Amino acid sequence: MEGILIMKNLLFSFLFMSLLSCEKNNSIQKYDTVGEALGTTYSIQFYAENEFDVEKALDSIFEDVNASMSTYRPNSDISKINQGDSTVVVDQNFRNVFKASEDIYQKSNGFFDPTVGSLVNAYGFGPGKQLKQLDSVHLDSVKRLVGFSKVRLTADNTIRKENQDIYLDFNAIAKGYTIDLIAEYLESKSVSNYLVELGGELRAKGENIDRQKSWAVGIDDPFQQEGERVLQAAIELKDRAMATSGNYRKHREDSITGQKYVHTINTKTGKAEKSNLLSASVLAKTCMYADGYATTFMAMGLERSQELLKKLEGVEAYLMYSDESGNLQVFATPGFQETVLE
């Protein structure tokens, strides 16, 4: 009898736990939120048992990032630093992005450089004033303002620059970092299934419960026309981030060979060079690093990027380039290729 009672109790416990599990799963709801921030749009999908004020949290995250690193705000910390204020004590967000930028700068041998803005503007590739004359004398004067090694984060969390006119810009990495902040917030609310997208950069965890599959995301065809949405590939994104960089909408075509190319700035020489690398999509554990390396590979070009990828751990890439006949070609690391959906 005692054995039968034990079995009955175990069976009852199992059924009770199963019912609790079913009730728990049935209580999970899907939430979608969209909006505009950081000069672009965002879209967030997540599953949660309990509703919480995600909009308020997002507003706070976006405000903190803008107050720290927005070059469009004259009173942000980075704008004050760019204006020559050496007394600004930067916050944790600024420090996190600065240290990651320094890491990528060193590993890429300087091809990722948040001080390159002066050169970008000089060539007319950026929002700033283009130099009418860019001879060797003018180029040398601008090059003196480029080099992340000329900028230092001090022990008292202020920024020291070798030249007061050095211009810092974290736009190539701050968007990815913002996605990481959103992901961390969702996880603090016990959310284990989400997809965060901001300006085309992404971070995912868990799965799309409605479809009972991992999150699926697309990679744009670099030859698509303005206003089109043509996918080159779709991938399974799970428990990591993806960022894509490419100025292929501004690519030029050789009138003789038909090869497509873009101009990238070589931070070593200060000169704008032709590059046949049209797009770089990068997978990494955090979107900050995915974002930073996507920009890095565009600056390095195809061959240098392939060499760097051999040395990086936890970073996978899908690089699209134009061959000598103007046809689209793809280089994908084995780890990235594993995520591509048929």
Q: Identify the CATH number of the domain in which residue 243 sits.
A: 3.10.520.10
CA-nearest of 93, 68, 316 to 184 is 93
With respect to residue 77, please indicate whether it lies within any of the assigned structural domains: yes
Question: Tokens 């004398």 identify what position?
Answer: 137
- Residue 107 sits in the same domain as residue 218: no
pLDDT recorded at residue 4: 39
pLDDT recorded at residue 262: 55
pLDDT recorded at residue 259: 55
With respect to residue 327, please indicate whether it lies within any of the assigned structural domains: yes
- Residue 160 sits in the same domain as residue 199: no
- Residue 166 sits in the same domain as residue 208: no
CA–CA separation, 78 vs 139, rounded Å? 25
pTM exceeds 0.85 for this model: yes
With respect to residue 52, please indicate whether it lies within any of the assigned structural domains: no
- Residue 224 sits in the same domain as residue 317: yes
Please enumerate in sequence order all residues whose Cβ is within 8 A of that of 78, keeping only pairs 6 or more positions apart, or say none: 68, 69, 70, 71, 94, 168, 169, 170
- Residue 329 sits in the same domain as residue 292: yes
Amino acid at 149: S
Last residue within a domain, chosen from 150, 171, 192: 171
pLDDT recorded at residue 118: 83
Kindly give the parts of the chain with pLDDT less than 50.
Answer: 1-24, 251, 261
When divided into structural domains, the chain yields a total of 2
pLDDT recorded at residue 237: 98
- Residue 134 sits in the same domain as residue 177: no
pLDDT recorded at residue 139: 79
Helices 287-300 & 302-309 angle (0-180, nearest 10): 140
Last residue within a domain, chosen from 153, 171, 189: 171
CA–CA separation, 12 vs 245, rounded Å? 56
Last residue within a domain, chosen from 171, 202, 231: 171
pLDDT recorded at residue 260: 52
| pLDDT tens per residue across span 140-170 | 888 899 999 999 999 999 999 999 999 999 9
With respect to residue 35, please indicate whether it lies within any of the assigned structural domains: no
Amino acid at 205: K
- Residue 167 sits in the same domain as residue 186: no
CA-nearest of 319, 321, 322, 341 to 331 is 319
Q: What is the CA radius of gyration of the chain?
A: 24
Find out whether 184 and 93 touch, Cβ atoms under 8 Å: no
Annotated binding site for Mg(2+): 172, 291, 295
Find out whether 73 and 48 touch, Cβ atoms under 8 Å: no
CA–CA separation, 3 vs 94, rounded Å? 64
Query: Which residue range(s) make up the domain with 125?
Result: 71-171
pLDDT recorded at residue 227: 67
- Residue 112 sits in the same domain as residue 248: no
pLDDT recorded at residue 247: 63
Annotated binding site: 172, 291, 295
Please enumerate in sequence order all residues whose Cβ is within 8 A of that of 256, keeping only pairs 6 or more positions apart, or say none: none
Find out whether 90 and 84 touch, Cβ atoms under 8 Å: no
- Residue 164 sits in the same domain as residue 191: no
- Residue 140 sits in the same domain as residue 127: yes
Question: Tokens 């004359």 identify what position?
Answer: 133
- Residue 131 sits in the same domain as residue 179: no
- Residue 141 sits in the same domain as residue 249: no
